[in-house]
Structures are given as C-alpha cells and as structure tokens.
Structure 1
C-alpha cells in the first residue's frame, strides 16, 4: 500500500541560506487514508524576521526550549524515506530542509528520500489561470480554513492533505483541519475525526444515510435554487411541485 507524507514547514524568514526551520508538520497517509501526524517545533538559534513572525506567531521565547534540527533529523528522515512527499510550493520547503541537512554535514537530500509532488503545478494544470494558493484551493474545494488566523506547519499540512485528496480523486474530507494549539494539542472534533478514520482504515468506509428531515431540507434547498435560476442540475431529486416552471 502506497505511503504518502503531506509536509509543511514554518521558518524564521524567506532565505534558506540565512534562515532556519522552526516547525515541521506532516500528515501520514497509506492508500490515501489517514494513519498519523507528526510535528516538531525547533529552536533556530536566531530570531524570526518581523514579517515571518506576523505569519506564524512563533516567538523566540516559545522556541527557546525546543530541540534543534539535528536532534530530530533521524526521525524525520525515517518518516520521509520511501514515501511520496506532497508539498505546496515544494522548492521552498525542500530548499530549507536541504539547507538544514547540509549544515549538519548530512549527505541526504529530500529528493533522494522519496518522490516529491508539488501541488502548485498540479493545481495550475487542473485550473489554468486560477490562483493556486492554499487558501484559494481550500475555497475551491470546500475545505474549511476559517480558523487559519496564523500559519502553522501541521495545520497547513492538514489543509493541504484534504485539498490534495480532492484534487486527485474527489475525496477531500479527512476532517483534520481543526484548530491546533501552540503546544501540539487540537480540538475535540479533530481528535474524533482521527479516531474514526483510524478505526475504519482497515475496512470499507461507513455510509451514513440521511434522515427524513435532512432529505426534506435537501429538497427545499433544490427548490429554492430552481426558483432563482430556473433550472437544476439534479432533476431526479426534485419534488414534484418543484419540477414545473416558476
């Protein structure tokens, strides 16, 4: 079964030659099913640029007691080795990871660990001329990012995982894009979603049938669409009274 790692980073600035990684977030999937998540906060031994700090909100004080990249590198490489590594704007994150590896005198590079898939050119191919930012893709594919006040590597990896599944196969509801606190926790809905996905990852997806009340609401919504537009894409689902001219 194929293994995929959706990866994102946060950094102290934009230039990998001078700046450092301060957070790495990974969503792990097997056969397009969620199996786990991984996050490392890192001490960069330097301050973030003011512009970068406004984006991620990770202060020098918060990062002061976190491990350095060299302390977690073996765990990270073990996770990435042999996987398809899915990244939004891959040259940025790969450039920073390779720079960190080079500082340690390591011979590994991200491209040598597994196949790197960049979702930016994928999105541009699917939607020519349209914006390909993560926020734009969340809006396009109905992935809820309303809680994304600040960027976070794990949160953005969760959003990207759902967007990627929607772009490549019509599945975009991992339910992982819940709020993430600064110490690595998350909201109850996100934990519940992961528990359900983990419990069901070895078998068929559960199909939940709508209630009579939900069906009635659905038919009412379609009737409202027809009243405004004069047509519907779902004629087979319309109630009899809504199928005539308006």
Structure 2
C-alpha cells in the first residue's frame, strides 16, 4: 500500500500560494509524487511581500514528524523557510531521528520582496546542524555568499563557493545564477559528490513573475529523487521545469507574481 512515491516538504506556509510549501506541494503533484508536509511557520504573505510570520511551537514540529513517520513511506524530503535557530535545530534533530530519504536543503533566507525569512543566529545553526545532512544544497547567489562569508561573482568564485560548501558537509551543491541580471543566460553551477561538475544554462527571461522559483526547483528535485530518478537527471528535469514555469506566465497578483506550476506538463505534451 505504501509503494507510491511520497515526498516531504518542511517549510513555511505562504498564504499567497506562490512560494513556500504551497509551491512545493503543487510541484510535487505535477511530478506525480504524493506530497506530505511539516509546517514550520505561517506567514501572512502575497506577491507584494511578507506582512507577518508566526513560527509554530517546537513541540508541534516534532509531533508532525512523528505522525508522518508512523504512517507514510517517504522517499525524499526538502526544507524551505525555517524561521529561527530553535526551529532549524528542531528540524535537524528530527531529520536525524527519522529516515525520510535524501534531503534537498533550500537555505531560504530572503523573500522576493526583501523580507528576512531566516534570523542571523539561525544561519549559524543551519551551517552547523542542517547543512551536513544535505544530499543536495540549492543556494542562490546571495544565500551562497552568506553561507561562505564571501563574494560570489565570477565562474571561478562559483566553483570555489561550491567547494567550500561541500567541505561544510553538503554532498552535492547547486549554486543558482538567477541573480546575475547582467547575463543573457541563467547559469547554474553544480558540483557533485564525486568531484565532477557542470554548468546548466537556460535563456534569461525578463519578468517579475518569479515568486517561489527556489522552492519550485528544490521541490522538483525532491520529487524526482522520491521516484528514484538519478540525481543528474533530476537536476536537469528541475531546470527544464522551472524554465517552463517562468516562460509561460500566469497573471496573478500585483507584485512578484508566482510561476506557472503546470506549464511543464503542457510543454511535455506539445
């Protein structure tokens, strides 16, 4: 009964539906994976920004993990917004308790509108406790810079940053280059656990409808890993998935609008 691919998102709730665990669940569903969730925090959020947030009690975080472990056969998991140091530590502790398969760590720190989603002390806790558990780490450029404490601009700096992050304990590193707005391509650098590496590039699309892109990429990777897709193929699928989601926009909201989570299905069937 428990053979159908099942994945877990450990993240915050986005009331606007474009990012956070809502983006994760939509993406996993589109990739034909059953999505479960551990809600870490609730946000009052829309495409214009984050108006408020409320981390859930730590006891309830643990109860959610225990509930899922008692019933589901989760094959892969991911993290998103984790709020503060206590919640990062609680998530790390529970991931050590329960085997939910490979972990994709999306180190969510700043919302599209600029609001901080991770406190300063939480970043240290994430480095020390959660990052060493990661099968895949998916920082964007600003997040990579915060994690290693230095600038990341050139291709050589991408590679050095990935090597530093790998030495911190994460196995496979994807540094997303979407913030390099001067480039005509969106260039992502991947350093694999075996030391091999590659660049994945797609044409840059000028749009404000990019809310939840990081959540969506990491959720797609997680869904594919839950199905048993090899990692390199899972990453390539996620790159194509987010490209389709951005290239085929939907008109929702008045700010940084969400991506189109069902676009890749339509592209595949064309």
Q: Same fold (TM over 0.5)?
A: no
Q: Which has the higher helix share?
A: 1
Superposition TM-score, scaled by structure 2 size: 0.35
Superposition TM-score, scaled by structure 1 size: 0.37
Q: Which has the higher strand share?
A: 2
Which protein has greater RCO, CA pairs closer than 8 Å, 6+ apart?
2
